[in-house]
Amino acid sequence: MPNVRLNESRIEALEPRKSPYDIRDTELKGFGVRVLPSGAKRFFVHSQHEGRRLWKTVGDAGNIGLDEARKRATELLAAIRRDEPAALPEERLFEAVAEEVFSRYGRHWKPGTMKVNRNYLRNTILPRFGGMNIADIDRQDVQNWFASLHATPVAADRSAPILSVIMRQAEIYGYRPEGSNPCAGIRRYRRRGRERFLSGRELRRLARVLANHEERHSRSVAFIRLLLLTGCRKSEILTLQWPDYRERRLFLRDSKTGPRTIWLSSPVRAILDGLPQQGKWVFPSRQRPGPVSPIVFDRFWSRVREEADIGDVRLHDLRHTYASIAIMGGETVTTVARLLGHNDAQTTLKYAHLSDCSVREATDALVPILGES
């Protein structure tokens, strides 16, 4: 859209787009309005001083009128002409700072985490804060953004820490005042817990189904049993290498929370010892170099859980079941946290409410899973 003489009706008619865009005023050079993807409109001044680009938000179009904004802009532009650049400090757009944070701080994130964080940045955070000066974003802006995500609480809860990191690093880089993180104290959405534990009856049904498939699908059966009997994450067993299995332990190279060691029971060692060693991967792909695709086991599990009448149980719920049995068996929360690789024992407390009766039933049901009589 070409530059126009701004008036109230024209500003009112401006529609948001996928990316921020500017409309410059032909009456006052250096003055304009920026339209954000969220629909917010902000007056700004833009100029050059000694080869340096200067940009300043004058005010929100929802809070001040055009006449007041043009008056403030005139005063700021006059300060530049009087060689008073301190009156118009350089602004840094949120998207530029976010990219700097991802470039500099991103080395602390694993590749998978970086990919997920970028998706949330692109899809959830930038549509709201793109085009804003990083120093102008306040607590009310963040609260309004978080409230707007009420229909997608998972996205809200996972995006908020990413935004907080960006704001915290912006302070470290000197782009915001120290101690000004507007994300501090934002309360996450309360969501109904998704933890699912297999009961004793369900474990017995699962054991029978696995036994029925063992002859034709021994590798997939071994995979399921290892998940249930170690509490490992699916990715940890998928990427397991034979050199990681030694001295009756698994030495995980790079789990979600970093390297960790898992002590193995004799039934788990028997499962591993019974697998053929074909290369370095415990579960090698038959089509390409590297470990087997997770789709192979996902498909097998989909079939198994239907046959065992546990259709709502995910593979990850086997990890929950392992933890619940350990807690009910008398292990401390701290110990189980270490077994699961939790950095914070608070994460493990969700298992602590289970009853002694349940543990006896679940422990008895594990016998056929272990392959014992």
Tens-of-pLDDT digits for all 373 residues of the chain? 457 889 999 999 999 887 778 899 999 998 999 888 778 888 988 887 666 667 778 888 888 999 999 999 998 888 877 776 555 556 688 999 999 999 999 888 878 889 999 999 999 999 999 888 898 898 889 999 999 998 898 899 999 999 999 999 998 888 887 788 999 888 877 655 556 778 888 989 999 999 999 999 999 999 999 998 888 888 889 999 999 999 988 888 766 666 778 888 888 899 999 999 989 999 999 888 899 999 999 999 999 999 999 988 988 888 878 777 766 655 555 555 555 655 555 555 555 554 444 444 444 444 455 544 3
Q: The domain containing residue 314 runs over which residues?
A: 200-370
**Predicted pLDDT at 19:** 72
274 shares its domain with 364: yes
Q: In this structure, are residues 288 and 315 in contact, taking their beta carbons and an 8 Å threshold? A: no
216-244 core/surface letters (b: 16 or more CB in 10 A; e: else) = ebebbbbbbbbbbbbbbbbebbbbbbeeb
**Predicted pLDDT at 362:** 45
81 shares its domain with 168: no
164 shares its domain with 205: no
Against a cut of 0.85, is the pTM above it? no
**Predicted pLDDT at 328:** 60
68 shares its domain with 137: no
| Residue 29 within any structural domain of the chain | yes
16 shares its domain with 164: no
**Predicted pLDDT at 291:** 92
CATH number of the domain bearing residue 215: 1.10.443.10
66 shares its domain with 138: no
Of the residues 55, 72, 87, the one at which a domain ends? 87
357 shares its domain with 238: yes
215 shares its domain with 312: yes
75 shares its domain with 99: no
CATH number of the domain bearing residue 18: 3.30.160.390
263 shares its domain with 343: yes
235 shares its domain with 121: no
- Structurally, the chain folds into a number of domains equal to 3
